[in-house]
Amino acid sequence: MALLLRPRFLRDAVAEHAMFRRRALVAFLLAVVAIAILGSRFAWLQIVQHEEYLTRSDDNRIKLRPIVPARGLIYDRSGRLLADNVPAYRLELIREQVTDLEETLRGLGQLLPIGEDELLRFRASWKAERRFQSVPLKFRLSEAEVARFAVNRHRFSGVDVVPYLTRRYPYGDLFGHVIGYVARIDAEDAETLDPARYSGSTHIGKSGIERHYEGRLHGEIGFEHVEVNAEGRTLRVLERTPASSGEHLYLTVDAELQQAAAAAFEGQHGSAVAIDPRNGDVLAMVSLPGFDPNPFVNGIGREEYAALLHSESRPLFHRAVNGGYEPGSTIKPFVALAALELGIRRPEDRVLSTGAYRLPGQGREYRDWRKGGHGYVDLRESLAQSVNTYFYSAAVDMGIDRMSAYMQRFGFGSPTGIDLAGDAAGVLPSREWKQATQGVTWYPGETVISGIGQGFWVTTPLQLAQATSLLAVGGSGFPPRLLRATQHGFDAAVIDEPVRTKVGIAVADLRMRDAVVEGMVAVMHGPTGTARAAAVGAPYLIAGKTGTAQRVGRTGDAAVDLELLPFNLRNRALFIAFAPAYAPTIAVAVVVESGGSGSRAAAPVARRILDAWLLRGIAR
Amino acid sequence: MSIASLLLDLAKRLLAPRVDVPLLIGLLMLLAAGLLILYSAAGGVPLVVSQGARVGAGLAAMWLISRVPPLQLRIWTPWLYAASLTLLLVVPVFGTGRSGRHWLDLGFFFLQPAELLKLTVPMMVAAYLHRETRAPGWTALLVCAVFVGIPTALIAIQPDLGTALLVAASGVFVIFLAGIAWWRVALLGTLALLIAPFGWFGLREYQRARLITFLDPEADRLGTGWNIIQSKIAVGSGGLFGKGWGEGTQSRLDFLPEHTTDFIVAVFAEEFGLIGILLLLALCLLIAARTLWIAAEARDVFARLVAGALGLTFLVYVVVNVGMVSGLLPVVGVPMPLLSYGGTSAVTLLAGFGIVMSVHSHRKLLK
């Protein structure tokens, strides 16, 4: 240390001082240059590039978030809620912020039960989504689960509990087929839908009304500009374009009648459709067994779904619009009207039923259901007793071409155009149809059995109901529909759906229609009527017709669309009716699959439906 | 005599002879600006209070040191140098830190010994050169290189490259101001430029990454490039007049990392704009200018060498930090003097300015 403190000698203090000042000045000037460069750098960034960086700063903090519109509600014709939105919570992962997916999933799995199915579905959409979007992992968290996650939330970055509205169907399986259900948007949906309109939407209508009116139920998406921090948490809303919720739908169906119709089957399988013939409103549409749409909304379990899918009784199959049935004798009133209108028969013309009908020059016998026949019968009696011979001969006299052409008026052989997906066309037998589908010419014997609704005939319960409804109003009426009115928002007026064009052709001479109706009334109320047991005690007049279709092996079967094939080989009991007979307000078609005859199995079901509608409000 | 004039008189007695008023005003303005922007960057009072306490301690240290004559400081210098070097040697053993061992936990305070060397290294070199009779020759340069090189190397391996460079710079400035011949400057400068590329192999992985990032920030937008990109966005979006105090979204929403420490100038630029930054730079320049002026006034060689080196080091500090924030220089982790949140740095800097003030107030006594 002493070395450092030694006194100094021989220094030129003045020169040294001057040198210091020069050196200090040089260094300072260099520093000024450096600072000047910095200053110009800031000027460059803050003035020349200001706009660009301002944009990037805003891009950093302002995110555009979609506001999912509330889905429109669905009511029945008198305002009972059929599809509701209820608040729920779901667990979401934000792609950008999840650092280790496997670790996160493991941690979450320890906290909340996450099903195998949920994981599979999650992984599929995790791959598909873009990085800044969130992917739902688990829907409908229970309150306990929400609380458990909230406590542990700090452990999971990029995981959030998000409130949302979930669809609920209060009537469960009663309207499963009609209303259908919404379910998560899958890859297939994503290809067809408008990505802007559905950004933020997780669900879409998959079947039934939910699917057919998806466009009106979904509503219009809204947007909000939110300020987020670097972690992506929303701090405040800067600007908001609210979503406009979907339209509320008022259907034509009546929940009480639907309930009564389902109950009327007493556990049997089958289908029933009830239509108001005055306007085409479908009052009830039942397909049994049904299914509960609720589990589908948030993802049905694979096993549960497989059970529904592979069940013998095919609960997911909508029999009312897709079920193909041979109409059998229920076709007879229409064949009768055809014969009258085409001038082949007059109502009073009598035909001899001997129990067997033969085509000239052919040996094959076409039988009546009563051995030995019904004797001489006019139109009324042949309908009341369902005399086959009368209709064999009527069909043969008309010829298949004229009969087919006439039957088209009642909608046979083409979809009804109802507001549901997958409305089947059925088969109206004709020379052209057979040539086109089987490449074989028409045989005269096929005309004979077509006259009693056998052979190639395939109809859906909805088609039968529509035809019955058209018959009830004289040949020209409104096609069936499910949507009656809509409403934009809860306070808005309920707006009726526009009037549609009528279908069918009005019967030229209403007396002919009346003659057929008289025959159908005799089915129910006449002393010989096949379904007179089902009309006992009815305080109103019913016009009806029974039908029993037998599943017998026929060459024609192979060509029928597989979707339209009945499920098994048992007899089908059918019944069509409308009431009150001379001022009809309801027309029904009933198919009971569990066998038996139309009169014994199907007519009582129809009677219960008619009672439920016509006697509603009247104590029984 | 009113109470006011009594108080004024008291203040004069306490401050006037020992404290240089223009320098003090400049420093106080800078400190005030620092606390102001810290309030905004930290989003509240707590950090401002703790930084305020450190600034208070620093000002006290400054006032104390300003009363010690430079002669006394020169006598203490070898001991101070040895003490700070010892602390630096202890750090690798007892130290703590996030990415290396930088700090000593004193219970109430985290001491960063490297910061102390920013004072003791120029003092040591100045004290050595003080007794030299001529401009520094090769022997003197070698001795100085040892005084500067050992702490620099120790700090560099902590690793804290930024502080190491500043410590080295503070020593080099003393040599430069002591009158090293220009041809030696040229020779050594050329040599340094030739050796520099080999320094690449001595860098750690993250340091290399920072250099690459500096050359091409967009190469790794979410990793090492994030800081510099967000800093430039903060600066650029501030514009001419800034977004206003407390309105800087880049810092408030945490997009800008280290916004209370190394990148606090970006917050300043975002909120006060180009005007604010130019005023800030001007203030720093004035402080340095005043310091150099004081140094030039001093008759004592040690005193003027130390004061001059401190003034220049302060400017290097500013240039490196502001250059880093604006993307002109690589991210080396040098805080903005007196603005960034951090204790040792503020106290050491103010203590350094205490020396400068001591030089100022004793300039005539040492004639």
Max Cα separation, chain B?
71
Per-residue pLDDT, A174: 95
Residue A466's nearest CA partner among A381, A361, A337, A587 is A587
Query: Are A498 and A553 found together in one domain?
Result: yes
Beta bridge pairs of residue A487: A248, A494
A76 in Cβ contact with A254 (< 8 Å): yes
- Residue B188 pLDDT greater than 80, yes or no: yes
Distance CA A424, CA A414 (A): 7
* 3-class secondary-structure state, position A130: coil
Contacts of A131 (CB under 8 A, 6+ apart): A95, A96
**Nearest chain B Cα to A2, which residue?**
B75
Q: How far away is chain B from the Cα of A155, in angstroms, using its nearest Cα?
A: 20
Residues of chain B found within 8 Å of residue A5, distances taken between Cβ atoms = 74-75, 131
Query: Are A334 and A475 found together in one domain?
Result: yes
Query: Are A573 and A597 found together in one domain?
Result: yes
Residues of chain B found within 8 Å of residue A40, distances taken between Cβ atoms = none
Query: Are A414 and A288 found together in one domain?
Result: yes
Q: Other C-beta atoms within 10 Å of A265: how many?
A: 24
Contacts of A9 (CB under 8 A, 6+ apart): B133
Query: Are A212 and A275 found together in one domain?
Result: no
Mean pLDDT of chain A: 87
- Residue A359 pLDDT greater than 70, yes or no: yes
pLDDT band at A620 (very low <50, low <70, confident <90, very high): very low
Residues of chain A found within 8 Å of residue B292, distances taken between Cβ atoms = 24, 27-28
Residues of chain A found within 8 Å of residue B275, distances taken between Cβ atoms = none
Distance CA A74, CA A72 (A): 7
Mean pLDDT of chain B: 85
Residue A261's nearest CA partner among A618, A602, A617 is A602
Per-residue pLDDT, A130: 54
Which residue bears the tokens 């985290």? B110
The answer as to whether A57 is a domain residue is no
Question: For the segment A458-475, what is each residue's pLDDT rounded down to a tens digit?
Answer: 999 999 999 999 999 998
Per-residue pLDDT, B310: 93
Is there a contact between B278 and A42 if contact means CB atoms under 8 Å apart? yes
Query: Which residue did the predictor score with more confidence, B104 or A197?
Result: A197
Q: How far away is chain A from the Cα of B128, in angstroms, using its nearest Cα?
A: 6
Q: Which amino acid is at B86?
A: T
Per-residue pLDDT, A559: 32
Burial A398-412 (b: 16+ CB within 10 A, else e): bebeebbebbebbbb
Question: For the segment B292-345, what is each residue's pLDDT rounded down to a tens digit?
Answer: 999 998 888 899 899 999 999 999 999 999 998 998 888 877 889 888 888 788
CATH number at residue A212: 3.90.1310.10
Per-residue pLDDT, A554: 38
Per-residue pLDDT, A552: 42
Query: Are A395 and A497 found together in one domain?
Result: yes
Is there a contact between A27 and B312 if contact means CB atoms under 8 Å apart? yes
Average pLDDT over residues B143-150: 91
Distance CA A31, CA B310 (A): 13
Contacts of A318 (CB under 8 A, 6+ apart): A177, A208, A287, A420, A422
Is there a contact between A27 and B236 if contact means CB atoms under 8 Å apart? no
Determine how β-strand A234-241 pairs with β-strand A543-549.
unpaired
Q: What percent of chain A has pLDDT over 90?
A: 53
ipTM given for this complex: 0.88
Residue boundaries of the structural domains of chain B: 19-220+287-361
Burial B243-273 (b: 16+ CB within 10 A, else e): beeeebbbbbbebbebbbbbbbbbbbbbbbb
- Residue A213 pLDDT greater than 80, yes or no: yes
Beta bridge pairs of residue A138: A91
**Nearest chain A Cα to B173, which residue?**
A27
What's the Cα-to-Cα distance from B265 to each of B47, B164, B202, rounded to whole Å?
17, 21, 30
Picking from A204-218, B284-298, B300-314, B340-354, which range would have the lowest pLDDT averaged per residue?
B340-354
Distance CA A526, CA A545 (A): 12
Count of the separate structural domains present in chain A: 2
Per-residue pLDDT, A133: 67
The answer as to whether A42 is a domain residue is no
Is there a contact between A5 and B75 if contact means CB atoms under 8 Å apart? yes
Average pLDDT over residues B263-270: 92
Average pLDDT over residues B97-118: 74
Residues of chain B found within 8 Å of residue A54, distances taken between Cβ atoms = 236-237, 239
Per-residue pLDDT, A10: 47
Per-residue pLDDT, A84: 93
When CB atoms are compared, the residue of B230, B295, B326 closest to A24 is B295
**Cα B178 versus chain centre, distance:** 21
pLDDT band at B99 (very low <50, low <70, confident <90, very high): low
The answer as to whether A48 is a domain residue is no
A376 in Cβ contact with A556 (< 8 Å): no
- Residue A86 pLDDT greater than 60, yes or no: yes
- Residue A339 pLDDT greater than 80, yes or no: yes
pLDDT band at B76 (very low <50, low <70, confident <90, very high): very high
Per-residue pLDDT, A556: 34
Query: Are A187 and A305 found together in one domain?
Result: no
Per-residue pLDDT, A209: 95
Is there a contact between B240 and A230 if contact means CB atoms under 8 Å apart? no
CATH number at residue A513: 3.40.710.10
Residues of chain B found within 8 Å of residue A8, distances taken between Cβ atoms = 130-131, 133
- Residue B56 pLDDT greater than 90, yes or no: yes
Question: For the segment A258-316, what is each residue's pLDDT rounded down to a tens digit?
Answer: 999 999 999 999 999 999 999 999 999 999 899 999 999 988 888 888 998 888 888 99
Could you tell me the two tokens for B118? 């920013």
Distance CA B202, CA B207 (A): 10
Distance CA A186, CA A201 (A): 11
**Nearest chain B Cα to A29, which residue?**
B289
The answer as to whether A330 is a domain residue is yes
Distance CA B302, CA B300 (A): 6
Q: Other C-beta atoms within 10 Å of A69: how many?
A: 21
Q: How far away is chain A from the Cα of B153, in angstroms, using its nearest Cα?
A: 24
pLDDT band at A193 (very low <50, low <70, confident <90, very high): confident
Residues of chain A found within 8 Å of residue B271, distances taken between Cβ atoms = none
Query: Are A124 and A263 found together in one domain?
Result: no
- Residue B118 pLDDT greater than 50, yes or no: yes
Beta bridge pairs of residue A546: A575
pTM of the full predicted structure? 0.71
Q: What percent of chain A has pLDDT over 70?
A: 93
Determine how β-strand A74-75 pairs with β-strand A248-251.
parallel
The answer as to whether A603 is a domain residue is yes
Per-residue pLDDT, A6: 46
Q: What is the 3-state secondary structure (H, E, C) of A142-189?
A: CHHHHHHHHHHHHHCCCEEEEEEEEEECCCHHHHHHHHCCEEECCHHH
Question: Which residues of A carry out catalysis?
Answer: 329
Residue A89's nearest CA partner among A202, A242, A185 is A202
What is the crossing angle of helices B301-325 and B161-177, to 10°? 140
When CB atoms are compared, the residue of B74, B277, B319 closest to A42 is B277
Query: Are A216 and A312 found together in one domain?
Result: no
For B144, half-sphere exposure in the C-beta direction (CA atoms, 13 angstrom radius) is 29
Per-residue pLDDT, B90: 85
Average pLDDT over residues A525-548: 93
When CB atoms are compared, the residue of B269, B288, B304 closest to A20 is B304
Domain of residue A304 covers 255-614
Is there a contact between B249 and A61 if contact means CB atoms under 8 Å apart? yes
Distance CA A102, CA A527 (A): 77
Average pLDDT over residues A90-96: 82
- Residue A132 pLDDT greater than 70, yes or no: no
**Nearest chain B Cα to A49, which residue?**
B236
Is there a contact between B177 and A16 if contact means CB atoms under 8 Å apart? no
Q: Other C-beta atoms within 10 Å of A529: how many?
A: 27
Per-residue pLDDT, A1: 44
The answer as to whether A31 is a domain residue is no
Picking from A80-94, A149-163, B142-156, which range would have the lowest pLDDT averaged per residue?
A149-163
**Nearest chain A Cα to B287, which residue?**
A28
Is there a contact between A45 and B255 if contact means CB atoms under 8 Å apart? no
- Residue B249 pLDDT greater than 60, yes or no: yes
A293 in Cβ contact with A181 (< 8 Å): yes
Residues of chain B found within 8 Å of residue A35, distances taken between Cβ atoms = 281, 284-285, 315, 318-319
Beta bridge pairs of residue A89: A163
Query: Are A247 and A279 found together in one domain?
Result: no
Best residue in A28, A37, A238 for a mutation probing chain B (most B CBs within 10 Å): A28
Residue A385's nearest CA partner among A571, A599, A604 is A599
Per-residue pLDDT, A100: 82
- Residue A113 pLDDT greater than 70, yes or no: yes
Beta bridge pairs of residue A65: A224
When CB atoms are compared, the residue of B177, B237, B328 closest to A41 is B328
The answer as to whether A14 is a domain residue is no
Per-residue pLDDT, B107: 65
Max Cα separation, chain A?
157
A–B CB contacts, 8 A cutoff, strictly below:
151
Q: How far away is chain B from the Cα of A96, in angstroms, using its nearest Cα?
A: 11
Q: How far away is chain B from the Cα of A236, in angstroms, using its nearest Cα?
A: 12
- Residue A560 pLDDT greater than 50, yes or no: no
The answer as to whether A9 is a domain residue is no
Is there a contact between B253 and A19 if contact means CB atoms under 8 Å apart? no
Is there a contact between A45 and B308 if contact means CB atoms under 8 Å apart? no
Query: Are A189 and A174 found together in one domain?
Result: yes
- Residue A40 pLDDT greater than 60, yes or no: yes
**Nearest chain B Cα to A45, which residue?**
B236
Query: Which residue did the predictor score with more confidence, B364 or A344?
Result: A344
Query: Which residue did the predictor score with more confidence, A434 or A187?
Result: A434
pLDDT band at B111 (very low <50, low <70, confident <90, very high): confident
Residues of chain A found within 8 Å of residue B232, distances taken between Cβ atoms = 45, 53
Per-residue pLDDT, B223: 60
Is there a contact between B292 and A230 if contact means CB atoms under 8 Å apart? no
- Residue B367 pLDDT greater than 50, yes or no: no
Residue A528's nearest CA partner among A427, A413, A377, A354 is A377
